[in-house]
């Protein structure tokens, strides 16, 4: 998703644009799996199909995670920006159909605000690169599923052992 879908004429800077620190904070608040999918795509440039195979997730989940990550940089309450973000992610999927591409084109042509929102979505996507590098600086996201669930398993195992010890103590 590093290539632009629309030509970049200029990069307007708005005062309401979130800072890199704001974006990093927003990315850190995402679930760990969403962070991993986003970083593998953004930093390692893995496409959706490769991500789905590597993480054993359906393509629809990859799209949902990517949309969730992209929406962190979106202004709250902006419905057009939300739809533009959903289109941006959907168009990157290998499952996008010709009919969906036509629907996107119709949506884009329906109003000048749609073109502007899609353009701003691409700029938001670019703005997430520096915070993504900070978030994934140590490469934790390259580890498989087990690395992400190890903490939960160890907690569950500890609780199970504690329950057995308590049961044995009372017996």
| Segment among 85-89, 94-98, 136-140, 160-164 with least mean pLDDT | 160-164
3-state helix, strand, coil in the chain (%, to 5): 70, 0, 30
- Is the pLDDT reported for residue 56 higher than 70? yes
Whether the pLDDT of residue 13 is over 50: the answer is no
Average pLDDT value for residue range 24-45: 94
> Does 63 have pLDDT greater than 90?
yes
Rounded alpha-carbon distances, angstroms, from residue 47 to 1, 37, 40, 160: 8, 10, 9, 39
Task: Check if the beta carbon of residue 106 is closer than 8 Å to that of residue 12.
Answer: no
| Per-residue model confidence (pLDDT) at position 143 | 85
Cβ 151 vs Cβ 35: under 8 Å: no
Coil, helix or strand for 143? coil
Query: What local confidence, expressed as pLDDT, does residue 96 receive?
Result: 94
Asked if residue 100 lies in contact with residue 90, where contact means CB atoms within 8 angstroms, the answer is yes
pLDDT at 5: 58
- pLDDT band for 10, please (50, 70, 90 cuts): very low
When pLDDT is cut at 50, 70 and 90, the band that residue 121 belongs to is very high
- For the chain, give every domain's residue range: 20-140
State residue 72's pLDDT score.
85
């Amino acid at each position: 998703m590093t290539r632009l879908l629309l030509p970049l004429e200029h990069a307007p800077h708005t005062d309401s644009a979130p800072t890199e620190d704001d974006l990093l904070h927003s990315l850190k608040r995402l679930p760990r799996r969403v962070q991993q999918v986003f970083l593998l795509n953004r930093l390692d440039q893995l496409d959706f199909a490769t991500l789905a195979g590597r993480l054993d997730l359906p393509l629809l989940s990859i799209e949902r995670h990517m949309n969730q990550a992209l929406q962190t940089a979106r202004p709250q309450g902006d419905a057009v920006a939300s739809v533009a973000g959903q289109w941006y992610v959907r168009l990157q999927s290998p499952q996008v159909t010709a009919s969906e591409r036509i629907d996107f084109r119709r949506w884009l042509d329906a109003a000048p605000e749609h073109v502007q929102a899609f353009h701003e979505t691409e700029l938001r996507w670019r703005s997430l690169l520096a915070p993504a590098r900070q978030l994934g600086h140590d490469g934790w996201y390259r580890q498989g599923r087990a690395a992400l669930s190890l903490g939960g398993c160890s907690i569950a195992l500890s609780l199970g052992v504690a329950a057995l010890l308590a049961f044995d103590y009372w017996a």
